[in-house]
Amino acid sequence: MPASLVQNESIVAIDVGAAVTRAVMFDVVEGQYRFVASGQAPSTAEAPFNDIGIGVREAIINLQNVMGTTLLGPQDNNLIAPSQPDGTGVDAVVATVSAGPTVKTVVVGLLSDVSVQSARRLAESTYSRIVETLDLSDHRKPDQQMDSIVRSRPDLVVLAGGTDGGASRSIQKMLEAVGLACYLMPMEKRPMVLYAGNQKLANDVQEMLGGHAGKLQISYNVRPSLDTEDLAPASYELASLVMKLRQRQIKGIEELNLWAAGNVLPTAYAGGRMIRFLSKLYESTRGLLSVNVGAAATSVAAGFAGELTLGVYPQFGLGENLAGILQYTEVEDILRWLQLDIAPNTLREYLFQKSLYPAAIPATVDEQAIMQAIARQALYLSVRTAQKDFPIGAHASRTGLMPPLDLILGGGGALSDGTSLGQSLLLLLDGIQPVGIMPVLLDQNNLLPLLGAASSRNQYLPVQVIESGAFIGLGTVVSVIASANYGDQVLRAKLTYSDGTETRAEVKFGGLEILPLPTGESAKLSLQPLRRADAGLGPGKSGTVTVTGGALGVIIDARGRPLQFPSDPVRRRELIKKWHYTVGG
């Protein structure tokens, strides 16, 4: 149905996370779509419940309680749709899902630095863990490759390779290994296969794999030519294939899909779709960065001139995979974020014990500090991993630094459950370590993916909801890059408010400064760097920019890029305490 005909419908958006299920109501208020309310409940994908429907209904009941309306039928406990004249029910449902085991994925391509990289990027745009990679440089015999696939027991195979009309014999060999491996697996365990290679071979692929794969999806080529990569169409097919896999794995997805008339998407895909859309809509000249630190995964979506880079990292999720982070980082790298004096072994045991109970939440101040430190490192690792796949145009001023951004948006349990907005901001600054001048927003109700899912139902809804202030503006961040010693003055800043009053700050290297500027207000910020520091205008360059306010105001982060910590642990902990104090404790 065209959007114009359905623009006044109320929509319940449901997100089934690994730990929490949320139900959110979007409705038209004074002619504009608004985020109305949300309800949440623990997710029930895992045993002993094994049915997401239980958590979904509980979240909807909590939403009903908040709104004082009835959405579920009293007799059958089913959603009342469409909305009734008596005010009960809802017109439409959309949904996103991140719950479920990590998708074990085999990546197959021809050239290890061309099609294999595209297939890997495609696989990493969903909740997958790559368990095996096959390419032309693999010197194993075909039967060894086949056995390796069988042993890895994949849920998904992503096949790419060959430009359109290009190489075909080599791909056919790969298809043979994949086809035979599928044939050798029990029927109910055969993997889903996504083919996104040379389109000329589509019929051969159908013939060789159609009868053996759990489900075969043929998509557009991710590498139509050697120097072109186009992941978007294949990403959509992959998202749809992952939802089919989830239907096979998790009870209740099928019912949710019926409620949503097929509008159920992987959470990260839906969030990425919104970032691509916003990047185009706001004609972002630099980039938009969205991060989501959740139990299922940490995901990073970056939009540069309408081009999306989406990385989903279950290995950096804060749920059941928590202990797995130690395969990618040292305990000391997590400890560096902590203001507490904790032995490395204590933290190691903490990670293993917490991964037994992914849905549990920190009850003490110390445990909250530990979880926030882990979240910082998970975000830091995720952003650095995703950055490798940013488009060539997204230049960083120096190796190892982030490219300049127009906006940062944070979401996910670790950020939205933060005890204060200042803590959430500091987590984002520590994990991302942005450079330049940019506003930072917090998606406290984790709406972004739900807006992405709703956009296929109603194109006006996401824009209207965002413009109604659904995200919390934390403030404008100015990051200062300097070669200086701790305590050296690196910047003079002056904030001139609309009424002509001024606030000044002498910013020292290693510190954080906050200049108050309330939400909804803008002001002129004059920056005068010292010692050739770069405050976002270029090394040593002074200037005045217009900045917008937020819950914290204007935050000048002169802690250096990359962030440096004192080697003395006592001094480091004192410094971290000071940073926390500066953002509000």
Considering only 44, 115, 315, 382, the residue that binds other proteins (CB under 8 A) is 44
**Edge-to-edge strands, sheet with 288-293:** 307-313, 298-304, 288-293, 407-411, 436-442, 472-479, 553-558, 511-515
- Structure tokens of 174? 């790969």
Q: Answer for the pair 371, 401: CB distance below 8 angstroms, yes or no.
A: no
Interface with other proteins, residue 403, by CB under 8 A: no
- When the beta carbons of 406 and 417 are compared against other proteins, the nearer one is 417
- Structure tokens of 126? 């969903």
Interface with other proteins, residue 203, by CB under 8 A: no
Considering only 3, 4, 77, 143, the residue that binds other proteins (CB under 8 A) is 143
The DSSP 8-state label assigned to residue 68 in this structure reads: T
- When the beta carbons of 42 and 391 are compared against other proteins, the nearer one is 42
Which stretch, 118-126, 238-246, 263-271, 360-368, contacts other proteins (CB under 8 A)? 360-368
C-alpha of 530 from chain center: 36
Q: Name residues whose C-beta falls within 8 Å of residue 10's C-beta, 6 or more positions apart in sequence.
A: 25, 26, 27, 28, 83, 90, 91, 92
Interface with other proteins, residue 360, by CB under 8 A: yes
Strand ranges (DSSP E) for 84-240? 92-97, 103-108, 128-134, 156-159, 192-195, 215-218
Considering only 91, 138, 147, 521, the residue that binds other proteins (CB under 8 A) is 147
CB atoms within 10 A of CB 512: 20
Interface with other proteins, residue 513, by CB under 8 A: no
Which residues partner with 16 through β-bridges?
21, 97
Considering only 67, 359, 463, 505, the residue that binds other proteins (CB under 8 A) is 359
Interface with other proteins, residue 50, by CB under 8 A: yes
Which stretch, 74-82, 176-184, 332-340, 457-465, contacts other proteins (CB under 8 A)? 176-184
Nearest approach, Cβ of 143 to other proteins (angstroms)? 4
Interface with other proteins, residue 207, by CB under 8 A: no
Interface with other proteins, residue 350, by CB under 8 A: yes
**Edge-to-edge strands, sheet with 156-159:** 128-134, 103-108, 156-159, 192-195, 215-218
Considering only 1, 186, 227, 500, the residue that binds other proteins (CB under 8 A) is 186
Interface with other proteins, residue 328, by CB under 8 A: no
Please classify residue 509 by burial: count the beta carbons closer than 10 Å to its beta carbon, then call 0-12 exposed, 13-18 middle and 19+ buried: buried
Interface with other proteins, residue 152, by CB under 8 A: no
- Structure tokens of 542? 């002074």
Considering only 2, 5, 31, 47, the residue that binds other proteins (CB under 8 A) is 47
Considering only 13, 146, 192, 415, the residue that binds other proteins (CB under 8 A) is 146
- Round to whole Å and give the CA distance between 129 and 156: 10
Buried b (16+ CB within 10 A) or exposed e, 324-334: bbeeeeebebb
Which stretch, 128-136, 146-154, 195-203, 400-408, contacts other proteins (CB under 8 A)? 146-154
Which stretch, 155-163, 305-313, 356-364, 500-508, contacts other proteins (CB under 8 A)? 356-364
Considering only 63, 180, 318, 482, the residue that binds other proteins (CB under 8 A) is 180
The total number of residues shown for the chain amounts to 585
| String of contacts with other proteins for each residue 56-75, x by CB under 8 A | --x-----------------
* Binding residues with other proteins: total (CB under 8 A): 51
Which stretch, 49-57, 267-275, 302-310, 332-340, contacts other proteins (CB under 8 A)? 49-57
Considering only 137, 203, 306, 349, the residue that binds other proteins (CB under 8 A) is 349
Restricting to residues 420-479, name those near other proteins by CB under 8 A. 420
CB atoms within 10 A of CB 385: 17
- When the beta carbons of 172 and 528 are compared against other proteins, the nearer one is 172
- Round to whole Å and give the CA distance between 399 and 209: 44
Q: Are strands 298-304 and 288-293 parallel, antiparallel or unpaired?
A: antiparallel
**H/E segment holding residue 513:** strand 511-515
Considering only 46, 155, 229, 443, the residue that binds other proteins (CB under 8 A) is 46
C-alpha distances (whole Å) from 1 to each of 7, 9, 236, 501 are 10, 12, 21, 53
The residues that touch other proteins, with contacts defined as CB under 8 A, are: 41-42, 44-50, 54, 58, 101, 141-143, 146-147, 150, 180, 183-184, 186, 249-250, 320, 323, 345-346, 348-354, 356-368, 417, 419-420
